[in-house]
Structures are given as C-alpha cells and as structure tokens.
Amino acid sequence: MNIKSRFSKFAIITGMVLGLSATSIMAAPANNEHEHGHGHGEMELRLNDGSKWAVDAPLSRAMNNIGSAMHKDLDAIHSGKLPKEKYSVLATKINNEVNYMVENCNLEPEADAQLHLIIAELMEGASAMESKANARDGAVKVMGAIESYATYFDDPNFKPIKH
C-alpha cells in the first residue's frame, strides 16, 4: 500500500474520532481508493446476516495485542489504582495497534465498515486515556470496543476479557 493510500485511511479514521461518535459515521470521500461503503447518517454494529464477520491475520494480531495489554492492567483499572502514566502507555499501545490495523488489514468492505466503528471507539478511548483527567473512562471505552469485537467478529484466536 502506498503512502498516499495509508494517509487517506489514517485521515478517515482520525476524522471519525474527531468529528463523529463511535456509532455515527459520515460517508468517506468519493476519491478514496479504499471505499468503505459508509452511508450518511448513523451506523450501528451488526452481524453479517446473523453470523460474525470474518477477520484476517493482521486484525487478529492487533486486537489480541490490545486485549492482552488491557488484561494485564484490568484489576488496577477496576480498582482505580492504575497510575496515570500507565494509562498513557496503554493508549500508545492501542494507537500503535490501530495504526497497524489500518496499514495491514484487508477485510471485505462491509466487514471493514463494521471494524471502523470499533476502531473509532478504540481511538476515542485511547485519546481519553492520554488526557489523564478521563483516563479510567477511556479504559472503559476501550473495554467496550474489545467486547464489541468479540461479539461481532469471528476471531478464533481472540480471548475475550472476563471482568
């Protein structure tokens, strides 16, 4: 994938986080070579005709890495004892994994559109975790995205976080 295409994908995701909620996505630019089929208005996570969406190896790797990172600090997050600096470290890990997904993931357009709802939630959570004032709320948002991934995507390697 060339740098222009990578930048386009990154710009779309960044726009989703900055200007839209995790469940409301506007249409992608028409000249984007990686069209997501987003319509105007709200999109909600949904199954693929009653089945979970297929994943590819890069998506599985990134989501498993995010899940593992969050799982390591889950007790401290729940108890409110995770130091603010650790939230920032987690946020960096999440952002790195999201970037990896964007650069390497190659899903069918409808599955990709569903994934972008989860990516937006991950990025919103990571952003809040970096702010320190809302760090715990951001971690809760990330956990929601992880739960959504387990609910809507068929990843046999993914280990849902029990909490």
Residue 53's DSSP bridge partners are: 153
CATH code of the region 1-16+57-163: 1.20.120
Dihedral (CA of 136, 138, 143, 144) sign: positive
**How many CB atoms are closer than 10 A to CB 25?**
23
The 3-state DSSP class for residue 161 equals coil
For 21-75, the pLDDT digits (tens) are: 333 333 333 333 334 343 444 579 999 999 999 999 999 999 999 999 999 999 9
What residue ranges do the domains of the chain occupy? 1-16+57-163
The per-residue b/e assignment along 39-68, b for 16 or more CB within 10 angstroms, e otherwise, is eeeebebeeeeeebbebeebbbbbbbebbe
Instruction: Report pLDDT for 43.
Output: 74
pTM for the full predicted model? 0.75
